[in-house]
Structure 1
Amino acid sequence: MLDSLQRAAFDYFVRHANRDTGLVADTSRPGSHASIAVVGFALSAYPVGVERGWMTRAEALQRSLAALRFFRNSDQSGTPDSTGYRGCYFHFLHLDSGTRAWRCEVSLIDTALLLAGMLTAAAYFTAATADEAELRELADTLYRRVDWCWAQRESAAVVHGWKPESGFLKYGWEGYSEAILLYILGLGSPTHPLIAASFPAWTGTYEWENLYGIDFLYAGPLFIHQFPHAWIDFRNIRDDFMREKRCDYFENSRRAIDVQRAYAIRNPRGFVGYGEDGWGLSAGDGPRAPRQRIAGRRQSFYGYAARGVPYGPDDGTLSGPSVLASLVFAPEIALPAIRRLLARGVATDDRAARAGGFNDTVHGGWVSAGNFGLDQGLIVLMIENFRSGLLWRLLRGSAPIRTGLHRAGFRGGWLAEALVITPATARSARSSVRTADPTDQGVTVGSAVRTVRGRPER
């Protein structure tokens, strides 16, 4: 079952990529622009495809090289028709030309998600061939080029983005979010790092709550509790905030899933399909349907929105990919929910499981048309981390990740182990696809990076 779902999600990157530039469409809908974050997921998914036998190593390498070469050569002038500025990139790009699409912002979080993919590729392609050496050098160059300091305000918070027409966006990354990946990569930079005070300044905006008897670091949508874990193994490593709470970010994500399920069981707004195996509020597509009367009130239905628990918004729309991505944290809860998703239609119908959203309350039921690249990437990576821990093992050996975690105050667990970079450890990481137990806390670190020291809004 999981193999089928993971393979179907992986095929998104085969079908919706520009082979010349390595850019990947944001959605499968006709005319979609590329998303730099989706490129990051693609770069991370290609090694999974190689290890699962869905793509040759040569093809994965060439697709990855095309993307990194494109970003190296891209226009970094920051003009309205460029690709990026100061080592960061516009959120959406024209799929063919790679220039800025619409009037979108230079996005810090999407740049971080792109870089996570580049670092994954560098950690996987470790052979002493000219092409693989070039890929590692490109990843190192592109990571070092990012000017993280430029995007920091006086309060030490990192801004959301920048536009050539109006400058920095007014909001900064404050409050717990997927930006933990951004801060870690920014702190790990050997060239333009975030200041050391940035991380405690950020965690100082956290909200620790008790919901349904569960203590956890609050964030409403599930994707916030999932995105950074696609690359970083947060099990048993703690920063100052989590040490004080006697928790870690992995355990916190498990608790967030418990909160989601508890909310769905209570179903305070009376939506169809909510229950112990019907949950998963996250960022995603929505039906944007006419209002209808539910439990004595007039209910509105939204389009794309970041739905969350328990404060909303909530219009009865659930996210199948957020359930699949929960597998690594709480399989005993996620597996029954996945089976229920697949039981909604015929035996071969996995649309609700992989779609941008589905809603059984809307008259006749609704499932989002097409797929979103971010969802498909999250499915591929999180199922793989559940099955083998491959991405976690690869990134354990990434110097930017390790340095960023240390500078953020993380200690313990695998971070306390000495990093020994050898071709053998890289092979060990790859062979773990077939042998690893993802619940094993004592597994040997296996990854190598030889030359290399991120929910975006739509």
Structure 2
Amino acid sequence: MTGNLAAPATVSAEADDALLEMVQRQTFRYFWEGAHRPSGLARDRQKTTGDPNNDLVAIGGSGFGFMAIVVAVTRDWTSRDAALNRLGTMLSCLEQATRYRGMFAHFINGRTAQTIPFSRMDDGADVVESALLFQGLLCVRQFFDRATSVERSLRERIDRLWQEAEWDFYRRDGGNHLYWHWSPNHGFAMNQKVTGWNEGLIVYVLAAGSPSHPIDADVYHQGFASGPGFRNGRSYYGIELPLGMEFGGPLFLAHYSFCGLDPRGLCDRYADYFEQNVRHTQINYRHCVTNPHGYKGYGPDCWGLTSSHSPSGYVAHAPDNDIGVITPSAALSSFSYTPEEAMRALRSFSAKPTNRIWGRFGFVDAFSESRNWFARTFLAVNQGPIVIMLENFRSGLLWDLFMAAPEVQIGLAKLGFTSPHMTKNRASIGS
């Protein structure tokens, strides 16, 4: 891939699909041209001009990067051979990385593969970041299914990493919760349970389906699903929200786990997860349209609150924590939930001054017209869902790949989920 694509404003008259293709492809560059060069893994953040002068790469962001490369091959943005070469480099770094009962740290050094502490006590495993990585790895394994020696070796390498993840250890002495962190120096001292409605659903599905270190269903039902803030049932802007915090929280909660998990028809005893995500998105949208704080630019053509950079640093933007900052990923990753509203936002973002909001890796992380502030950065955890969730909206590619993985089917069934993918899989086995 060479040269920059035209800015969106210059092609605003093209068909919607062409606009989606262009934005998706430009954003993919974050994980291809903007990746850490020695390792091929995703940098935590990138600048609008020049690369960071460090070797820090993000594990969860790299999980999104693996998925983005699958999209790129499917859409002929890069060749299958080039992708396999890059994926091999990425896996080599992961294989050398310091792991903690098979789990990865939040950040690692892409050159040495050693852990970079996230904070003083967070200097070991991060189970949620690891789950986002494994979500991407399983999609890669499912996609590269040819009988060549290169693709067979790729699948075997992924399986080794996947089978070494000791999910059951993170129950902390067999309890009915999974814990977010473990440190070789501090053990479970951070004491943060993966509980309540958050981005941790993917953790429990993978842990339940693990072929080597699975958890029992009780860990999901008595841990994650019984925690504070799991059930809601209250209404916001006239919309009842089944699960989650007040007003739904940042929109990434409807994206991260659902880059792989197809929410369409995904149900358990607690919720219909497509309906949950639609309602969460609608509340976020209606808040921006209502605009109770009177922020400049907010409205039906400019909406979307999720965690991102801001003039005050990294902030979990949400209707109840709204400081006037719009994050493009919030709306663009929500096409499957609110397609008309998301397309209006995309057209609106595309019409803004390109030197402020658009750059070499797509739309910048965030902006605030009230403060005349536009980020000079891109973040892996926001750019990734744009590529992936747009593809899921357009073709369902990553959903189909991930939901077809036998371990995912096993995990969902064990936890009591139903899904059209599970019915389809049983039918194919019986045929």
**After TM superposition, is the score higher than 0.5?**
yes
Instruction: Specify the alignment match of 1:303 in structure 2.
Output: 313
Instruction: Specify the alignment match of 1:207 in structure 2.
Output: 231
Corresponding pairs, count:
391
Following the alignment from structure 1 to structure 2, what is the Cα–Cα distance between the partners of residues 419 and 85? Answer: 35
Residues 338, 353 of structure 1: 8 Å contact kept: no
Q: Aligned AA for 1:67? A: M
Instruction: Specify the alignment match of 1:450 in structure 2.
Output: none
Following the alignment from structure 1 to structure 2, what is the Cα–Cα distance between the partners of residues 114 and 405? Answer: 18
Q: What's the CA shift for 1:235?
A: 0.7
Residues 68, 118 of structure 1: 8 Å contact kept: no
TM-score, normalised relative to structure 1: 0.81
**Match of residue 167, structure 1, among 174, 187, 199:** 187
Q: What's the CA shift for 1:14?
A: 1.3
Q: After the TM superposition, which residues 138-217 of structure 1 pair with which residues of structure 2 at under 5 Å, given as runs?
A: 138-153=157-172, 155-168=175-188, 169-201=190-222, 202-205=224-227, 206-208=230-232, 209-216=234-241, 217=243
**Match of residue 342, structure 1, among 350, 368, 374:** 350
Q: After the TM superposition, which residues 27-426 of structure 1 pair with which residues of structure 2 at under 5 Å, given as runs?
A: 27-29=45-47, 30-32=52-54, 33-74=56-97, 83-102=98-117, 103=119, 104-153=123-172, 155-168=175-188, 169-201=190-222, 202-205=224-227, 206-208=230-232, 209-216=234-241, 217-218=243-244, 219-242=248-271, 248-287=272-311, 302-309=312-319, 311-312=320-321, 314-346=322-354, 350-351=358-359, 354-362=363-371, 365-419=372-426
Q: Deviations over 1:37-88 (max 9, x none)?
A: 12111111111111111111011111112222332343xxxxxxxx221100
Following the alignment from structure 2 to structure 1, what is the Cα–Cα distance between the partners of residues 53 and 330? Answer: 25
Following the alignment from structure 2 to structure 1, what is the Cα–Cα distance between the partners of residues 169 and 20? Answer: 42
Following the alignment from structure 1 to structure 2, what is the Cα–Cα distance between the partners of residues 105 and 340? Answer: 42
Residues 5, 350 of structure 1: 8 Å contact kept: no
Please give the secondary structure, in 2, of the residue aligned with 1:85: coil
Q: What's the CA shift for 1:334?
A: 0.8
* Identical residues among aligned pairs (%): 31
Following the alignment from structure 1 to structure 2, what is the Cα–Cα distance between the partners of residues 393 and 327? Answer: 17
TM-score, normalised relative to structure 2: 0.86
Gaps of at least 5 residues in structure 1 are 75-82, 243-247, 288-301, 423-458
Please give the secondary structure, in 1, of the residue aligned with 2:240: strand
Following the alignment from structure 2 to structure 1, what is the Cα–Cα distance between the partners of residues 182 and 293? Answer: 38
Q: Deviations over 1:346-374 (max 9, x none)?
A: 49963597222111111xx1111121112
Q: What's the CA shift for 1:198?
A: 1.2
Gaps of at least 5 residues in structure 2 are 1-18
Residues 268, 418 of structure 2: 8 Å contact kept: yes
Residues 266, 274 of structure 2: 8 Å contact kept: no
Residues 151, 158 of structure 1: 8 Å contact kept: yes
Q: What's the CA shift for 1:95?
A: 2.2
Q: Deviations over 1:22-41 (max 9, x none)?
A: 32211114135100112111
Which of 273-282 and 108-117 deviates more? Answer: 273-282
Q: What's the CA shift for 1:165?
A: 2.4
Following the alignment from structure 1 to structure 2, what is the Cα–Cα distance between the partners of residues 60 and 239? Answer: 37
Q: Aligned AA for 1:13? A: F
Q: 1:421 to 1:138 in 2, by over 3 A?
A: farther
Q: What's the CA shift for 1:265?
A: 2.2
Please give the secondary structure, in 2, of the residue aligned with 1:318: coil
